[in-house]
Chain A
């Protein structure tokens, strides 16, 4: 087994376990911390893919800025003692959910182990990527893709942000006569 495979297995375990922690911890602070761990392991994934720029951004923006905001909000809104108390009312749903998740994961793994990514795709994807990175460097290649090839979806995402802002206003702003 090569080093890359071992790194992948370790990172994948950490990523899945921490993602699981996000939804199972009953104290929201612990959930937040697991989410940071999850985002960090994703950053390492990007590193193993030699995508240094995206990995840096992942750490700076997600594991850094966004999570700090999340933590602030959670600590401000969580009542004293924190966490959800009382019995779990979703008992059989848990069992059913885990069962179905195992079936889905099993199906995915079986399908994926029965074949590999097409050679054509590897040529088109990996070689194109490596060539671009070799020619322009990591951040440049990323920027070229984002602002040349995919500039339109990138711009349209602005509409999405406008909608998100509107949603924040609609859902949080209350009027006196309500």
Chain B
């Protein structure tokens, strides 16, 4: 317990402590600055707040790189956080995600009529702060506080479109289900503390290493229960099957810019947290937790891909694809070698680039009423907007794992590490599951280049013209195509369509283009010359998994 450790209570934070959390401090300052700047921003003209946020993100990025270059990592604030290579690597990915998310925001926030624009930017930055704190935590307490910061901010961000019921529903669903999962995680942490007397990850590891682990007596049973509860909590946060039920509804209901950011950021934070607890602190108990994560990985890879293959709404398909990707990452955790952890970090970085980009294109196509993201809406995009079409094709090929894109590099390192780490079966299941992935990713490319829009400009589908307050479930019912307007709603449908249409093909905002270009360039660069990132990931993996 802490008293034994900190007695005689002489600890005071020094300059090194503050230096180690410099990126987080910059981000915190930026978040509060945007909150204040919101006061002077005129309603409806709050896009420049994103610029303020972006400046802070770049500042934090510079600080992170400087800490990496400095090379002296260690604990700060009495072993609560640290700035080891893993934390810094994760910070770079999270900062990239929030940076691109901020670039996506100004045009989208304006188009969707989000009235709480000021709070939106603040919450986005503070969510990133929570993610960074979670991934740099070296104590269970800090891990949990970081997780709560990011979760709370994301609940609100999901529900921030106050005029759209789907968004409100997403926020509520996420809040209730996710706090339930947080309770599981917290219970697991409490039992871990009960079993080991420590909350610091290094302390838990030392205790588990030096004490004999037996199921029948000693600290065995307590720790097994704790392991199970924590696994539930983490698997929920990374949306692994069987804890994925919230993912599609929340990802579809939330504003797309938020979805893009959270699908990447939450995964980075939760997977690094998971790795810190399972691969580092509880690493000696590997035989106990490995089968659990093995099953979760297999279920998630197969289930996520099969569910994604049945979707016709691209945003929903991408939500299920993020479930499937969680499965590939889980393979890396279950393999539990240094190479597989390196693979996990590489996968997180490559996934950030291509997934942010894919959601970015969806965001650019989405209309004011939140519709316009089905496969039918992608039909003929190749001629309507060649640049956007080319980018979407690139991201789809990358997500499918085509060589010379980032997606291939991520999958290669994860599956290769699984084969080397005596989990050939996981690699084979993963490869087969990715083949299903190829089908539904390339179906989007097919829609873009080889199909024509099924409707004349004014005859939109019944679904597109539906009122804004529309239940989530019908999103997949679009399949019937355009002219089949046999429903009684036809007349009103066309009437409403004429009202909606002028705003439909709004030009893509310059900042959105910039974000898409960033994601596109990174998807290519990480795919063609990945060596620098691979080396960094190895350096990071070496600090955590010995």
Of A38-46, A66-74, A110-118, the one with at least 4 CB within 8 A of chain B? A110-118
Task: Report A42 CB to chain B, min CB distance, Å.
Answer: 14
Q: Which residues of B contact A76 (CB under 8 A)?
A: none
Output the least CB separation between B216 and chain A (Å): 6
Task: Tell me which of A118, A150, A157, A159 contacts B196 (CB under 8 A).
Answer: A118
B7:A118 contact, CB within 8 angstroms: no
Residues of A contacting B145 in the complex (Cβ-Cβ under 8 angstroms): 153, 156-157, 160
Whether a CB of chain B sits under 8 angstroms from the CB of A149 is yes
Question: Nearest Cβ in chain A — how far from B269, in angstroms?
Answer: 14
Neighbouring B residues of A121 by C-beta, 8 Å: 194-197, 207, 219
Asked if A128 and B3 make an inter-chain contact with CB atoms under 8 angstroms apart, the answer reads yes
A174 on the B face (CB < 8 A): yes
> Is B96 part of the contact surface with A, judged by Cβ < 8 Å?
no
A178 contacts partner chain B, Cβ-Cβ < 8 Å:
yes
Residue B141 lies at the interface, judged by CB distance under 8 Å to chain A: yes
From A114, A117, A119, A162, B194 is in contact (CB under 8 Å) with A117
- Is there a chain A Cβ closer than 8 Å to B28's Cβ? yes
Determine the distance from Cα of A135 to Cα of B4 in the docked complex, in whole angstroms: 12
Mark contacts of B74-99 with chain A using CB atoms, 8 A cut-off: 1 yes-contact digit, 0 otherwise.
00111011000000000000000000
- B3: contacting residue among A113, A131, A170, CB under 8 A: A131
Complex Cα distance A178/B153, Å? 23
Q: Are B207 and A117 closer than 8 Å at their CB atoms?
A: no
Q: Return chain A residues, CB-CB under 8 Å to B146.
A: 156
A129 touches B3 (CB 8 A): yes
From residue 221 to 272 of chain B, which have CB atoms closer than 8 A to chain A? 221-222, 224-225
Q: State whether A132 and B126 are in contact (beta carbons under 8 Å apart), knowing that A152-B77, A152-B81, A169-B116 are contacts in the complex.
A: no
With A149-B5, A152-B77 given, is the CB distance from A169 to B119 under 8 Å?
Answer: yes
Please tell me if the beta carbons of A170 and B116 are within 8 angstroms of each other in the complex. yes
**Contact pick for B218, options A115, A128, A150, CB 8 Å:** A115
Q: Which residues of B contact A156 (CB under 8 A)?
A: 133, 142, 145-146, 149
CA separation between A41 and B168, bound complex, in Å? 35
Are B9's CB and A144's CB within 8 A? yes
Interface string of B125-150 (1 = CB under 8 A from A): 01001100100000101100110110
Q: Could you tell me how many residues of chain A have their Cβ less than 8 Å away from some Cβ of chain B?
A: 49
Interface size on B, residues (CB 8 A): 62
Q: Which residue of B lies closest to A164 (CB)?
A: B152
Do residues B159 and A170 form an inter-chain contact, with CB atoms below 8 A? yes
Q: Once the chains bind, are A159 and B195 in contact (CB under 8 Å)?
A: no
With A and B bound together, what is the CA distance between A145 and B156 in angstroms?
32
Known contacts: A118-B219, A124-B1, A150-B2. The answer to whether A167 contacts B152 by CB under 8 A is yes
| A120 CA / B195 CA spacing, docked (Å) | 9
Most-contacted residue by chain A among B2, B142, B153, B194 (CB, 10 A)? B2
Indicate whether B6 reaches chain A with its CB closer than 8 angstroms: yes
Q: Which residues of B contact A122 (CB under 8 A)?
A: 197
Residues in A whose Cβ lies below 8 Å from that of B222? 111-112, 115, 117-118
* Contact of B220 with A by CB under 8 A: yes
B123 CB-CB contact with A under 8 Å: yes
Q: B193-209: which residues lie under 8 A (CB-CB) from chain A?
A: 193-198, 207
Say whether A150 contacts B80, CB under 8 Å.
Answer: yes
Q: How many angstroms from the CA of A163 to the CA of B211 in the assembled complex?
A: 41
Instruction: Contacts A170-B116, A175-B115 given; indicate if A117 touches B11 (C-beta within 8 A).
Output: no
Nearest CB to that of A115 among chain B residues? Answer: B221
Q: CB of A75 within 8 A of chain B? A: no
Contact check, B215 vs A120: say whether CB atoms are below 8 A apart.
no
Residue A166 interfacial (CB < 8 Å): yes
Is A56 part of the contact surface with B, judged by Cβ < 8 Å?
no
What is the 8 Å Cβ interface bit string for chain A, positions 13-52, against chain B (1 contact, 0 not)? 0000000000000000000000000000000000000000
Residues of A close to B216: CB separation below 8 A: 114-115
Query: Are A178 and B224 within 8 A (Cβ)?
Result: no
Q: Determine whether the beta carbon of A128 is less than 8 Å from that of B9.
A: no
Which residue on chain B has the smallest CB distance to residue A177? B115
- Is B1 touching A170 in the complex (CB atoms < 8 A)? no
B478 adjacent to chain A (CB < 8 Å): no
With an 8 A cutoff between CB atoms, is A81 at the interface? Answer: no
Report which B residues bind A (CB closer than 8 A). Answer: 1-7, 9, 11, 13, 28, 32, 35, 76-78, 80-81, 115-116, 119, 122-123, 126, 129-130, 133, 139, 141-142, 145-146, 148-149, 152-153, 155-156, 159-160, 162-163, 171, 193-198, 207, 211, 214-222, 224-225
Q: Can you show 20 pairs from A to B with CB atoms below 8 A apart?
A: A111-B221, A112-B225, A114-B215, A114-B217, A114-B220, A115-B216, A115-B221, A117-B219, A124-B198, A128-B7, A132-B3, A149-B2, A151-B78, A152-B78, A152-B80, A153-B145, A164-B152, A166-B122, A167-B155, A170-B160
Q: Which 3 A-B pairs have the closest CB atoms?
A: A128-B4, A118-B219, A124-B197
